[in-house]
Amino acid sequence: MPDSQALTGAALAHIKADEFMPDEERGHAEAAVREDESEALAYLVDPTDLVVDIPGVELAQASWSSEPVEYDPESMEWDIDEEDGDFDEEPDNA
């Protein structure tokens, strides 16, 4: 699957470029990224970057969890314009 290969490749490049990562940790990180796409994603997304611009917020701890799912563009679950669980449904006025 090309997308997963791109994700894994980007994560491996990110790990290789990290000059502060100890060699022992680097080997473990590379193995984890090759084995699990969620690990690859975790190496590419810095949780601090997600909250750095929010006044009064300081990241104390972060963890990741993910699972593969099939994308269905017709499903309301994939409507990125809606908030979780809040779909445009007509109210039942009966």
Query: Which token pair is 2?
Result: 């090309």
Which residues, at least 6 apart from 40, have a Cβ–Cβ distance to it below 8 Å? 7, 8, 10, 11, 12, 33
Q: What pLDDT, in 10s, does the model give residues 36-49?
A: 988 999 899 888 88
pTM beyond cutoff 0.85: no
Q: What do you get for the CA distance between the two ends of the chain, in Å?
A: 49
Q: What pLDDT, in 10s, does the model give residues 2-34?
A: 588 999 999 999 999 999 999 999 999 999 999
